[in-house]
Amino acid sequence: MRKPVQSTLDLDGAAGPGSALGTSLASVTFVVVDLETTGGPPSEAGITEIGAVAVRGGEVVGEFQTLVNPGHPVPAFITALTGISSAMVAGAPRLAVALPAFLDFVRAQGPVTAWVAHNASYDMSFLRAGCALLEMHFPDHPVVDTVHLARQLFGRDEVRNHRLATLAAHVGSRTLPDHRALHDARATVDVLHALIARVGNLGVSTLEELRGYSRRVPTDVRRKRTLADGLPSAPGAYVFRDAEGSALYVGTSRDIRRRVTTYFTAGERRARMAQMVRLAASVTPVVCATDLEARVREVRLIASEHPRYNRRSTRANALTWLKLTQEHFPRLSVVSTVRGDAADYLGPFRSRRRAMEAMEALHTAFRLRQCTQSLPSAPRRPTACVLLELGSCGAPCTGAQSKEDYARIVLSAREAIRADPAAVVDPLRARMRELAHEERFEEAGVVRDRLSAFVGGATRIQRLGPLASSPQIVAAARHSAGGWELFCIRHGRLAGSSVAPRGADPMPFVAALVASAEHVPAPVGPAPAAIVEETEILARWLESPGVRLVEVTGDWSCPVRGAAAYDDLRAG
């Protein structure tokens, strides 16, 4: 063993202690290790020498060195390379003694430790294999590979290659590597410090950033990492804003600070996110008590602030509905708003095209009229349109079909929309199979699209409609830290949330939540009082395992044979 020595390199400028973005480099103990081996595979654990230097904050705090008897002769070419011969290791400890002593040295450096090696995969593979052979636990600390960092930071215009001897000479190391473990470890320390000094000028100050450093991250993006300073490590939403305060991007995370940090690393590979970060001037956190609340806040922020870099639609309320009208002879109509007219609605749909496909599915199953004008109670037109000849309409416009007969068709269509879609699904599914069997695949695809649009719209109305009509639902789920997450939902909108701590009676918290929750006026049904996407999030959460209903005001239910049973047919 050798006494600790001082290093002249000061890392304080590269990473201040307690960095908000991760583990500051100044607080990490780097165990720089180098092994000499017999040249065989790691599975043989043929280690002949272990050398290591522990450094923290730019100072050497400990060194370790021992020869190891591998239990078999050292090959001549290894002796020529390293100078370690069979005679030198004959009296050295075997691996069963040397490796535990080395691991004791590593453990003594404290919990905030990282491995460092030049071509780290080689040294780590031998250490792991040795631990496996001896049935010992290998300390799974983060690994920093100086070869990887050097390739990122030192181009061929500076060094001819990235071997340890070349790099040591380039950075002016006080120790020249000579294939002896401790000497090579000391040289690696000097290379490590030179690499840290260089990345420090590029804004890298934490262990996480050092390990993930890559040239793929442009310097101007990396320097924006300061936008994460001071952000909370808490669940919630976050908003990237430009210099004028306009929203660029909205996201959500269980840990706002950690998530925002990833936008400035090599882990973020989306080109549009790099463009967004270049424009960003600030990040606004919106801390939430629960993950569910954070997801709801994200949807609301996207809808209200219209961030240009979110792929999710910022026109959350620009939806389309399919309406079965309230007339003497009802018909299907694609509309953009829901009116309080007691009509039946299907949807909402994300596009008019999908609503039209659902309409075609219903027209295939039911002989509903397709003309757009209103018909009196007893129409008497002289002639019918071509749909009568095609068998797609009973021609109520001419009086050929009575109001009572037509009403029975409408009643069946309403049943398919409200409760049981089998009358639409079964014939269209049979038609799709028939066309596929005849290898008319394009026509089968058209039928498939119509069927999936109908099933998707029916599923949404059957799930969201009852939730939208319910004046109040109070529900609870276990909190990850103990206690209960409590939510008050009114007409499909999250009206309030709170957390009852571990060990506390949750009912007083429920009463306080209900008393303080947002007042939500009844909407024009079946549309909810919230953005449809918010209501869908709440519906999925209410249906998830572990959620308990505390109070339900109104009738919140879904049909037993409803459209949700045909989930395999639904596609958006």
Structure tokens at 478: 């276990």
**H-type alpha helices, 313-385:** 352-365
| Backbone φ and ψ of 403, nearest 5° | -65, -35
Instruction: Please give the DSSP secondary-structure letter assigned to residue 501.
Output: P
What pLDDT, on the 0 to 100 scale, is given for residue 561? 83
Q: Domain segments of the chain: what residues?
A: 25-211, 219-305, 320-454, 471-554
**Which 3 state secondary structure label does DSSP give 359?**
helix
Whole-number pLDDT of residue 493: 95
Task: Sheet containing 236-241: give its strands across.
Answer: 247-253, 236-241, 282-287
Query: CA separation (Å) from 126 to 44, 116, 164?
Result: 8, 14, 19
pLDDT computed for residue 8 by the predictor: 31
- What superfamily would CATH give domain 219-305? GIY-YIG endonuclease (3.40.1440.10)
How far is residue 338's CA from residue 55's CA, in Å, rounded to a whole number?
68
Fold of 25-211: Nucleotidyltransferase; domain 5 (3.30.420)
Burial of 192 from C-beta contacts in 10 A (0-12 / 13-18 / 19+): buried
Of 72, 87, 67, 66, whose CA–CA distance to 40 is shortest?
72
Segments of the chain scoring below 50 in pLDDT: 1-21, 572
102: which residues sit within 8 A by CB, 6+ positions away?
50, 52, 64, 66
Q: Which two tokens stand for residue 63?
A: 């060194």
Distance CA 558, CA 463 (A): 6
CB 127, CB 134: distance < 8 Å: no
Phi, psi of 513 (to 5 degrees): -65, -45
Sequence-ordered list of residues with C-beta below 8 angstroms from that of 382, at least 6 positions apart, any chain: 398
